[in-house]
Amino acid sequence: MRKLPPLGSLRAFEAAARRLSFREAAAELGVTPTAISHQVRILEEICGRPLFRRRPRPLALTDAGERLFPVIRNGFDTFASVVTAVSAKTIRTTLRVTSPNAFASRWLVPRLPRWRKLYPQIRLEIIGTDAVLNLRAGDADLAIRYARTMPTDLVAREIFRDSFFPVCSPALLGEGVPAITRAADLLHYPLIHYDWLNGDREPPSWSRWLAVARSVDPDIPAATEHWDLSFREEIHAIDAVAAGQGIAICSDVVVSHEIESGALVKAHDLALPGYGFYVVHVPDHPRQASIEAFAAWMRSVA
Partner DNA sequence: TCGCTGGATGAATTGGATTCATCTAGACTG
Partner DNA sequence: CAGTCTAGATGAATCCAATTCATCCAGCGA
Between 21 and 224, whose beta carbon lies closer to DNA?
21
> Which residues sit at the interface with DNA, rule CB under 7 A?
6, 8-9, 12, 21-23, 26, 29-42, 52, 54-57, 59
Determine, following the binding rule CB under 8 A, whether residue 85 of this chain makes contact with a copy of itself: yes
From the list a copy of itself, DNA, none, pick the one residue 137 interacts with, judged by a Cβ distance below 5 to 8 Å according to partner type. Answer: a copy of itself
Q: Which does 129 bind (CB under 5 to 8 A by kind): DNA, a copy of itself, none?
A: none
- Please state, in angstroms and rounded to a whole number, the distance separating the CA atoms of residues 238 and 243: 8
Touching a copy of itself, residues 13-42 (CB under 8 A): 28
The radius of gyration computed from the CA coordinates of the chain, to the nearest angstrom, equals 25
Q: Smallest gap, in angstroms, from Cβ of residue 126 to a copy of itself?
A: 22
Residue 159, number of CB atoms within 10 A of its CB: 18
CB of 75 to a copy of itself, least distance (A): 4
- Look at residue 23 and give the partner it binds from a copy of itself, DNA, none, a contact being a CB closer than 5 to 8 Å depending on partner kind: DNA
Give CA separation, 228 vs 211, 225, 263, in Å: 18, 10, 22
> Roughly how many angstroms between the first and final C-alpha of the chain, as a whole number?
48
CB of 141 vs a copy of itself, minimal distance in Å: 13
58 burial type by CB count under 10 A (0-12 exposed, 13-18 middle, 19+ buried): exposed
Nearest approach, Cβ of residue 150 and a copy of itself (Å): 6
Residue with smaller CB distance to a copy of itself, 82 or 240: 82
Q: Is the distance from CB of 64 to CB of 47 less than 8 angstroms? A: yes
Closest CB to DNA among residues 29, 211: 29
Asked if residue 58 has a cis previous peptide bond (ω within 30° of 0), the answer is: yes
- Please confirm whether the linkage preceding 151 is cis (ω < 30° from 0): no
Can you tell me the distance from the alpha carbon of 122 to that of 19, in angstroms, rounded to the nearest whole number?
39
Q: Which residues bind a copy of itself (CB under 8 A)?
A: 1-5, 7-8, 10-11, 28, 46-49, 64, 67-68, 70-72, 74-80, 82-87, 89, 137, 150, 152-157, 281, 283-286, 288, 292
